[in-house]
Amino acid sequence: MEIAAKEPAEAGFEPLLQLEMEMETFLSDWRHCDQLSTYVARMVSHNRTDPVRHSNFFSSALNELLELSFRGGSPEGQIGCVIYRQGATERVRLSFPCPPGHRQFYREAVSKTHREDAYARYLDSISTDLAPSKDVVLLDLAVNFDAQVRLDEDAPPFLTLVVDLPLEGIVS
Amino acid sequence: MSSTGLSIPFKAEFDANSQEFSLSGVVRPRSIDEIAASISILKEAIGEVRGVLYINVRRLVQMNNTAFHVFVRVVIDACRARPDLRFVIVTSSVVGWTTRMFARLNEIEPQITVEVYDSKFYPGQSFVENTSFIPILRTQTKMTWRHERSILPRHGLRPGIVMADICCGIGDFAVLVQKEFQPARIVALDHSKASLAYARDVAAGFGITGIEYTYGDASEMLLEDNQFDFVSCRHSLQIFNQPNALLAELYRICRPGGRVYVTNEKNSHCLGEPRSQSIQWTYNEVAKLFSHFEMDVELGPKSRRYLADAGFDDIVVESFMVTNLDGDPRDFADVIAAWEDVYAGEMAVKRGDSPEFIQRFRQGFQDHIFAALHPKGYAGWPIWVASGRKPL
């Protein structure tokens, strides 16, 4: 794992932290999701108004994204996570190698977060699905974390989820 | 039942007496098999209870969607199978995501309601959390700091340590500690949002950085285990209806070898001359009044026992007396006047005391002020300091 202090900012967002890890290593232990999300959340939140509660909230969201990449990623290449900040929002750019057959699925899952019926779909999924799908994980972020989710497919076979989390406003 | 396969323990329990299923800790399983035993406990609880099942997630720090889905499905299925049963999910206002996630369930099944546990559950403490009390709190800290700044090093406070100030109130003690002792980090926690807002404003106004103010319930903190070298909790065990529960949390977040530092009063030992008898009568009544509201302002000398019972060793206890001779006697008098306003003007009224009692009760405070301001008078407010080491 490497942690770099700075990366070029994107669209007014200030880079806070970058983390890279061999995907094979990442996939070797499920607990990496919990450990990385806890660690990154603590680092990112330290200068928020309420660092402890912001960290708790942020860890919850980031863990879901990491679990998504754990379940859907392939072992070749690296997983990369860059955190940016603009005002009350943190942006997570999570890149991981993804089998070609799964890409369409992610496109649809992200698309569902933007639809007007996102909330209804989320409730429906909770009340009917036996286990959470990738759909509902992203819907959860949109509904419960007020997240904006988009997909960046510029560098196949890597897939990048870009998730804006306005948690400072929610926590404080 | 506690987890074994997961990285951080979680606990699922059912208390048949209170019909409460509680889930605490970090629940982030890869598959539902890892939490099968906890699910069984929930299912058994549902089968056993009548009328209502309380689901307590106040101490649930993290839960991933895998776990959330399976627990929620069990509850939703039970709603459909048992229309006679209600579910009350109790979340914490501190852990924001739990309230957001669980609140959705009411829209799926009206039998499920969500209650948010917050500071309103500490009714007694609301007397001393009124924002009008802030100037007096600052004066009190100024008066006690004259003593504590030389006492604190004997209890383990030194530069460079990582410290938590629990029940920090308006945060002035944390600011004074940072200026005097330069700890590497201070986390200051309180469950009064108004006090924390004030603390943040003061810190920002004075250009003070390095103090992390956080909203939280001192008896159920989000802070992780074993992370602080020094944990202070001043004048709070005595106004908490479960001091043992609070001490257990202080113990938990203190690192092995670190120290927990508490200060408390014994109000019946407040004294003054002249008019000592009137003063003594009133402060004896203060102790009884707080006891009525489940607060023990006589706790000071009991600190040693509390610390020992909580598992601390190397316990150090000492006391000091804040007096009218320490600084400006007017400060002392202002504090007593504020006590009179709250204790006689609000608490005694709420208890339903007679006007005659309240008049006599007030007189003792007035006599204490008289003693403080008298050119030959003496007025005192004793405080007990105690600290214990968390064993290695």
Are residues B67 and B174 both part of a single domain?
A: no
Are residues B108 and B133 both part of a single domain?
A: no
> If DSSP codes are grouped into helix, strand and coil, which group holds residue B108?
helix
Residue B130 confidence (pLDDT): 64
Please give the residue range of the domain that contains residue A86: 2-171
Give how far Cα B277 sits from Cα of A67, B100, B223, B300, Å.
Answer: 69, 56, 46, 22
- Find out whether B75 and B39 touch, Cβ atoms under 8 Å: no
Residue B241's domain is classified under what CATH number?
Answer: 3.40.50.150
Residue B294 token pair: 């489940």
Residue B4 confidence (pLDDT): 40
Q: Looking at CA atoms only, how far is residue A157 from chain B in angstroms?
A: 25
pLDDT(A152) > 70: yes
B297 assigned to some structural domain: yes
Model confidence over B51-66: pLDDT tens digits? 999 999 998 999 999 9
How remote is the C-alpha of A18 from its chain's centroid? 13
Model confidence over B331-385: pLDDT tens digits? 999 999 999 999 999 999 999 999 999 999 999 999 999 999 999 999 999 999 9
Which of B117, B137, B172 terminates a domain? The answer is B117
| B253 sits in which H/E element | helix B243-253
Number of domains into which chain A is organized: 1
Residue A43 token pair: 């680092």
Residue B79 confidence (pLDDT): 95
Model confidence over B272-305: pLDDT tens digits? 999 999 999 999 999 999 999 999 999 999 999 9
Sequence-ordered list of residues with C-beta below 8 angstroms from that of B212, at least 6 positions apart, any chain? A46, A50, A51, A52, B185, B186, B187, B188
Are residues B316 and B359 both part of a single domain?
A: yes
B385 assigned to some structural domain: yes
Residues of A in contact with B78 (CB under 8 A): none
B180 assigned to some structural domain: yes
Strand duo B60-63 + B86-92: pairing: unpaired
Residue B87 token pair: 């579910």
Model confidence over B210-268: pLDDT tens digits? 899 999 989 888 898 999 999 999 999 999 888 999 999 999 999 999 999 999 999 99
Sequence-ordered list of residues with C-beta below 8 angstroms from that of B279, at least 6 positions apart, any chain? B270, B271, B272, B364, B367, B368, B371
Q: Which residue has the higher pLDDT, B328 or B1?
A: B328
Are residues B16 and B156 both part of a single domain?
A: no
Are residues B278 and B346 both part of a single domain?
A: yes
Tell me phi and psi for residue A162, to 5 degrees: -115, 115
Residue A96's domain is classified under what CATH number?
Answer: 3.30.565.10
Residue A6 confidence (pLDDT): 41
Q: How confident is the model at residue B129 (pLDDT cuts 50, 70, 90)?
A: low
B161 assigned to some structural domain: yes
What gap in Å lies between CA B204 and CA B126, rounded to an integer? 26
pLDDT(A129) > 80: no
Model confidence over B163-194: pLDDT tens digits? 999 999 999 999 999 999 999 999 999 988 88
Are residues B53 and B133 both part of a single domain?
A: no
Residues of B in contact with A134 (CB under 8 A): none
Residue B8 confidence (pLDDT): 52
Residues of A in contact with B215 (CB under 8 A): 50, 53
Residue B207 confidence (pLDDT): 87
**The sheet that has A89-97: what strands, in order across it?**
A2-4, A14-22, A78-86, A89-97, A158-165, A148-152
Residue in this structure with the two tokens 């968390």, named with its chain if needed: B390
Are residues B140 and B231 both part of a single domain?
A: yes
B2 assigned to some structural domain: no
pLDDT(B123) > 80: no
Residue B66's domain is classified under what CATH number?
Answer: 3.30.750
What gap in Å lies between CA B51 and CA B49, rounded to an integer? 7
Please give the residue range of the domain that contains residue B140: 123-389
Residue B199 confidence (pLDDT): 93
Model confidence over A63-117: pLDDT tens digits? 999 999 999 989 999 999 999 999 999 999 999 999 888 888 899 999 999 999 9
Q: In this structure, what DSSP letter does residue B209 have?
A: -
Of A34, A59, A127, the CB nearest to B76: A127
Residue B252 token pair: 């938990």
Residue in this structure with the two tokens 């949002």, named with its chain if needed: B193
Instruction: Compute, in degrees rounded to 10, the torsion defined by CA atoms B97, A52, A49, A141.
Output: -30
Q: Which residues of A have a CB under 8 Å from any CB of B?
A: 30-31, 33-35, 46, 49-53, 56-57, 59-60, 63-64, 67, 122-123, 126-127, 129-132, 136-137, 140, 143-145, 170-171
- Mean pLDDT of the B112-129 span: 67
- Find out whether B14 and B23 touch, Cβ atoms under 8 Å: no
Which of B81, B102, B117 terminates a domain? The answer is B117
Are residues B223 and B266 both part of a single domain?
A: yes
Between chains, do A63 and B100 touch, taking CB under 8 Å as contact? no
Residue A18 confidence (pLDDT): 96
Q: Which residue of B has its CA nearest to A170?
A: B96
Q: Which residue has the higher pLDDT, B147 or A2?
A: B147
- Mean pLDDT of the B108-114 span: 94
Residues of A in contact with B28 (CB under 8 A): 33-34, 63, 67
- Mean pLDDT of the B316-343 span: 95
Between chains, do A51 and B212 touch, taking CB under 8 Å as contact? yes
Sign of CA dihedral B250, B254, B256, B259: negative
Of B26, B65, B189, the CB nearest to A137: B65
Q: Which residue has the higher pLDDT, B376 or A2?
A: B376
Q: Which residue has the higher pLDDT, A172 or A72?
A: A72
Are residues B51 and B143 both part of a single domain?
A: no
Sequence-ordered list of residues with C-beta below 8 angstroms from that of A61, at least 6 positions apart, any chain? A92, A141, A145, A147, A163, A165, A167
Of A52, A57, A143, the CB nearest to B212: A52
Question: What's chain B's average pLDDT?
Answer: 92
B86 assigned to some structural domain: yes
Are residues B109 and B161 both part of a single domain?
A: no
B5 assigned to some structural domain: no
B350 assigned to some structural domain: yes
Percentage of chain A surpassing pLDDT 90?
A: 74
- Mean pLDDT of the A54-69 span: 96
Residue A39 confidence (pLDDT): 95
Sequence-ordered list of residues with C-beta below 8 angstroms from that of B31, at least 6 positions apart, any chain? B66
Q: Which residue has the higher pLDDT, B124 or A91?
A: A91
Which of B117, B143, B163 terminates a domain? The answer is B117
Number of domains into which chain B is organized: 2
Complex ipTM, two decimals?
0.92
Sequence-ordered list of residues with C-beta below 8 angstroms from that of B130, at least 6 positions apart, any chain? B342
